[in-house]
Amino acid sequence: MEILVDDKPVHDSVVEGATTLEELLRRVQDGLGAPDRVVTGLRCDGRDVAANKMAATLSEPVQSIARLEVFTATREELVVDAMQQASKCLSETEPACGRVAELLTQDQTVEAAEALSECLRVWQQIHDALAKSIEMLNIDPAQVTVNDQPLQELIARPKKTLLQVKQALQNRDHVLLADVLQYEFSDVIKTWHDVIAAVRREAEGSRGDRQP
C-alpha cells in the first residue's frame, strides 16, 4: 500500500500488521511523532472520504485500498478555520433576521418560520463551533477578557436573547419576536463576532508560540 501524510510518503513498516484502515490510521498517527496534529481528512484511491461515510470506511480491510492519503492539521489551525467560517455564516444571518421580522409584520408566518429555522440552525452550529474550539484550545473563558469583559459572560449573552426568541415562538407572540429580531439581534451578532474574533486570536497566538 502507498501511504502519504500531508503529501509525504510513509514507510510501510510504520503500519505493518494493521488489518483495518482504522488500525492503520492509528499507527500512522503514532508514527507521526506530532501529538498536536489531528487527522482532518482521508482520501482512498483518489476518492475523498465524506464525513458520513468515515465510520464505514475505517472498518474496511487494509487490503481493499491501494493508496491512502491522510491530511492533518494542528488544533490551532482547525480553530482558525472554524472561526473564519463561523464569522462568514454569522454575517449572512444578519440580513436574514431583518427579513424574518419583515415577514412577521406582514403576517407571513409560514415563510418567516422557515427563514428563522435556517437562522437557528446556523446559530446552533456557531455555538457548537465555539464550544469545541474553546475546548480544543483549553481556554478558561473566565480568564480571557474581550473589551474588558470576561469571555464567559459574553458567550452567555446571546443565549439569553435566543431564549427570548424561543419563548416568543412557543407563545406565538409574533410582535415580540419581530421586535427582538429587529432591535436586539444586531447587538447579539456583534457580541458573537467579538467572541469569534477573541477565540481566533487565542488560536493564532498559540499557533505562533509553536512555531520555531
Residues 189, 94: Cα–Cα separation, whole Å: 7
Return the amino acid letter for 177: L
- SS3 category, 171: coil
**Can you list the residues of the chain whose pLDDT is less than 70?**
12-14, 31-35, 207-212
pLDDT for position 209: 53
- In this prediction the pTM is 0.75
For the stretch 158-161, contacts whose Cβ atoms lie closer than 8 Å and that sit 24 or more positions apart, written own/partner, are 158/123, 158/127, 158/188, 158/191, 158/192, 161/185, 161/188
pLDDT given for residue 212 in this prediction? 46
* pLDDT given for residue 139 in this prediction: 87
